[in-house]
A and B are shown apart, each in its own frame.
Chain A
């Protein structure tokens, strides 16, 4: 660890954060300032810090479109555009030079794993992990969970059933039963781990891919299919399970979560609110504004970013030059990166974060480092922008497989358990298929329903006109019939 991170450690202690180590890493990183120079301000005098950069120069570069502004750091710009597998190898040798000594050396070997996918030139950030890809249970100095065999079995079951539901939905899209599907394949641990960290009175604001979190909130999975089939735009009552509607406009819901959390605080309740979003959303202004609002009002909200490495076709390094969790530092709350394919670590870290929220310590950012194994949606073709090798590498880190290995090797579950889950999974498949095939289309006049809560004269007028228009066909039909 560097000198800077020692200072960070005491800061972290003061703030009493659960994410101490993350805070350390964040400060260690930002002190490098290699980023400012690498961002196109090549003419900055030696020794100038980011804040000391002449305002003019900074303004100049920021006004240019990104493609051009990175021109002065040609190599960096070039490498980021390439597939991470290659660019990491190419860019790391050069760009690592100015960075401070990587944290790796002193780190407990088992507690951290190096992962590809960050922008080249960044020191590898820490990753909270409690279960290695090989299924080995490891410890972390700041985060842990104490779970019974049944509870761990439960997490396994949640993930298997969620994956089954997801696979079934993808198949139904292929069969034409759904117009679109956004698969969560590969992100089961991030969603189940975080989802199971919540109490019933906590409130969830999802994107449109949180099928696993919905499962944890006891939302009937078939409810999620309505919008993808095209029979509604959401349709469930968010207050039944404290699970808000899926939000399609990227990042919008993060502000809603923050406002909701502000309300929770006003009510004097000790519930926590959790906002899900992705690496792409981290670029949205709404997410930055949510960070600001939550920080200044000390709102009890947890920001759970599933960094699945891809925002449709754009890799995470197109969204950020620093690991996403490190952004929290600048807003004044802790951030931590967790192995998003490790359900135990996701559960432990989220539990710590919601506990912080409950006890009035304010927001926290969790970056669950994971991978979107499938396409963005069923309309996407990832072969156009990413390599098979990358997917294969992530397949070896599969969240379900590693938990199964652990359950088996630790003697926490027997064959009968796995057979039982398999049986349930089959039943889930049948249930979903049946539900979708019997899902009725809405009535035509539903177009006009619920546009307003208190009604609207124009809607009434147009409804009546359209009804009479439709009725005119019925009249002619019946006349023809005669």
Chain B
């Protein structure tokens, strides 16, 4: 396989970034209407090299370096989608999406409904998100709740290479706009990608580890932390079930519910601030659905109601194994 990453013919181990690259390549090959656009996605291959080699192989007409203007990127992607294209746009970092927020919220999310369903907006917006890479301000944020809150958008985040490959395929195939949150600190984590596998539905949650005492649910970069917490808890004799939510809109409440009905306890983990976050919504819904099964209040582990801290403090700020296990202990104390 070429260093730039061609579509894998057989199962192989790929880092998350390469899996996404491979998925974009497959999409570009399969559908001439698919476009990749964003700042530095062409010659440079993206600041994380996720689009490495794509412009070389598919040309500047399909892998487009754009002017440095996020609203312009999303706004023109909408126009391209109206013309019949399927643009996959990159926002370089989480904290840079806000100039495009208006286009995403007032136009991209609502245009299908505005037309009473007569037009479709198959636009994927890739956002490398989350912290843990020692970056400067605006490079480590987790704004997913701001998008999940908006009807008309779908929001997903893979936690591993296989999901990164398949969920990107499915996001591009979706006739709805999808905000694709890429866990940037997991870009280099390797995992098996089998292009002949049959993927789970895009918006389904998956049980990443079976357990019986406490359900721990997370998505994107926090799934790995939760799996490590589950391994540590096992040594202490506690059996954690880890649910990889994968989709923040819609959320697969059924899978979470099934797990909680078994364990009776739920801890939600994300990097984003807990206040009005994804976890808050899940806590409310699961409390409604599982009121008589719950042995403890639903607990959340996540960011604080403070700006994302400077890099020297992010190890303390970000949920880690100890903070997850602390919440697990509190849940078990009831």
Q: Do A and B bind each other?
A: yes
- Residues on A facing B (Cβ under 8 Å): 232-239, 244-245, 247, 249, 252, 254-264, 266-267, 285-286, 289-290, 292-293, 296, 449-454, 456-459
In the bound complex, residues from chain A placing their C-beta under 8 Å from that of B174 are 454
Judged by DSSP, the binding face of A is: helix
Q: Return chain B residues, CB-CB under 8 Å to A254.
A: 75
Chain A residues lying within 8 Å of B103, measured Cβ to Cβ, are 252, 255, 286
Given contacts A249-B102, A450-B117, A457-B252, contact A238 B82 (CB under 8 A): yes
Binds A, one of B63-71, B179-187, B308-316: B63-71
Contact B79 A233 (CB under 8 A): no
Which of A292, A457, A458 lies in contact with B67, CB distance below 8 A? A292
Tell me if B235 counts as interface (CB < 8 A to partner A): no
Q: How far is the CA of A234 from the CA of B119 in the complex (A)?
A: 12
Cross-chain contact A262 with B72 (CB below 8 angstroms): no
Please name 26 pairs of A and B residues whose Cβ atoms are closer than 8 Å in the assembled complex, sorted by A: A234-B116, A235-B116, A237-B118, A256-B79, A256-B107, A258-B75, A258-B79, A259-B80, A259-B83, A260-B79, A260-B83, A263-B80, A264-B83, A285-B71, A286-B71, A286-B103, A289-B69, A292-B69, A292-B72, A451-B112, A452-B152, A453-B112, A454-B176, A457-B203, A458-B249, A459-B151
Of B71, B79, B113, which one neighbours A262 at CB under 8 angstroms? B79
Q: Please give, as numbers and ranges, the residues of chain A lying within 8 Å of B295 by CB-CB distance.
A: none
**Shortest beta-carbon distance from B249 to chain A in Å:** 7
Q: Which residues of B contact A255 (CB under 8 A)?
A: 71-72, 74-76, 78-79, 103
Interface pair A259/B76, CB less than 8 Å apart: yes
In-complex Cβ contact of B117 among A262, A266, A292, A449 (8 A): A449
- Other contacts beyond A290-B72, A452-B154, A454-B174: 5, CB < 8 A: A237-B119, A256-B78, A259-B83, A260-B83, A263-B85
- Over the window 189-205 of chain B, the binary record of Cβ atoms lying under 8 Å from chain A Cβ atoms (1 yes, 0 no) is 00000000000000100
Pairwise interchain contact A252-B72, C-beta atoms closer than 8 A: no
Chain B residue numbers with a CB within 8 Å of A258 are 72, 75-76, 79
Question: Which residues on the A side are within 8 Å of B114 (C-beta)?
Answer: 233-235, 245
Contacts of A235 in B (CB 8 A): 114-116
Residue of B74, B83, B106, B111 near A245 (CB, 8 A) is B111
Contact B67 A296 (CB under 8 A): yes
Question: B102-130 toward A: CB 8 Å interface, digit per residue (1/0)?
Answer: 11001100111111111111000000000
Tell me the minimal C-beta distance from A450 to chain B in angstroms. 4
Q: Which residue of B is nearest A258, CB measured?
A: B76
**B46 CB to nearest A CB, Å:** 19
Name, among A261, A289, A296, A457, the residue most crowded by chain B CB atoms within 10 Å (CB to CB): A289
In the bound complex, residues from chain B placing their C-beta under 8 Å from that of A458 are 249-251
> Which residues from 34 to 50 on chain B have a C-beta closer than 8 Å to any C-beta of chain A?
none
Chain B CB count within 10 A is highest, among A256, A296, A458, for A256
Does any Cβ of A come within 8 Å of B236's Cβ? no
Question: Shortest Cβ distance from A283 into chain B, in angstroms?
Answer: 14
CB neighbours (8 Å) of B121 from chain A are: 453
Candidate in B66, B83, B253 with the most chain A CB atoms within 10 angstroms: B83
Given contacts A232-B116, A235-B115, A296-B67, contact A452 B79 (CB under 8 A): no
The answer to whether A245 touches B151, judged by C-beta atoms less than 8 angstroms apart, is no
CB B199 to nearest CB in A, in angstroms, measures 16
Q: Is the CB of B113 within 8 A of A450?
A: yes
B83: A residues at CB distance < 8 A: 259-260, 262-264, 267
For A457, what are the chain B residues with a Cβ–Cβ distance below 8 Å?
203, 250-253
In the complex the two chains form, is B152's CB within 8 Å of A451's CB? yes
Inter-chain contacts of A293 with B (CB < 8 A): 66-67, 69, 72, 76
Set of chain B residues within 8 Å of A263, measured between Cβ atoms: 79-80, 82-85
* B80 in complex: contacting residue of A232, A260, A289, A453, CB < 8 Å: A260
Q: CB within 8 Å of A: which of B79-103?
A: 79-85, 99, 102-103
Given A233-B110, A458-B249: A252 touches B79 (CB 8 Å cut-off): no
Q: How far is the CA of A256 from the CA of B102 in the complex (A)?
A: 13
In the complex, A233 Cα to B82 Cα: how many Å?
A: 18
> Are B82 and A259 neighbours in the complex by a CB distance under 8 Å?
yes
Beta-carbon contacts under 8 Å, B261-309 to A: none
B77 interface residue (CB < 8 Å to A): yes
Is B75's CB under 8 angstroms from A256's CB?
yes
Check if B75 sits within 8 Å of A252, measured CB to CB.
yes
Q: Which B-chain residue is minimally distant from A451 (CB atoms)?
A: B151
Chain B residues near A252: list those with CB within 8 A. 75, 102-103, 106-107
A454 engages B79 (CB within 8 Å): no
**Nearest CB of A to B236, in Å:** 36
Q: Which 8 A-B pairs have the closest CB atoms?
A: A259-B79, A255-B75, A263-B83, A259-B76, A289-B72, A260-B79, A237-B118, A450-B117
Q: Which one of A239, A266, A290 contacts B85 once the chains associate, using CB atoms below 8 Å? A: A266
Q: Is there an interface contact between A261 and B176, defined as CB atoms closer than 8 Å? A: no
Chain B residue nearest to A248 (CB atoms) is B106
| B154 contact set on A, CB distance < 8 A | 452, 456
Q: Give the contacting residue for B75; candidates A290, A450, A456; CB below 8 A.
A: A290
Residue pair A286, B76 in contact (C-beta under 8 Å): no
Binary contact readout B241-262 vs A (1 if CB under 8 angstroms, 0 otherwise)? 0000000011111000000000
- CA of A256 to CA of B110, assembled, Å: 14
Considering the complex, give the chain A residue whose CB is closest to the CB of B106.
Answer: A249
**Contact call A236/B120, Cβ cutoff below 8 A:** no
Kindly provide the distance from the CB of B286 to the nearest chain A CB, expressed in whole angstroms.
Answer: 14
Closest CB in chain A relative to B245 CB, distance in Å? 13
Closest residue to B254 on the A side, CB-wise? A457
Chain A residues in 8 Å Cβ range of B176? 452-454, 456
Question: Given A286-B103, A453-B120, are A245 and B75 neighbors across the interface (CB < 8 Å)?
Answer: no
For A289, the chain B residues whose CB sits under 8 A away are 67, 69, 71-72, 75
Nearest CB of chain A from residue B192's CB, rounded to whole Å = 28
CB distance from B76 to the nearest CB of A (A): 3
B260 CB to nearest chain A CB (Å): 17
Report the minimum CB–CB distance from A92 to chain B (whole Å): 37
B75 x A453 contact (CB < 8 A): no
Give, as a whole number of angstroms, the nearest-CB distance from A290 to chain B.
Answer: 7
A233, B111: Cα distance in complex, Å: 9
Whole-angstrom distance between the alpha carbons of A232 and B110 in the complex?
Answer: 12
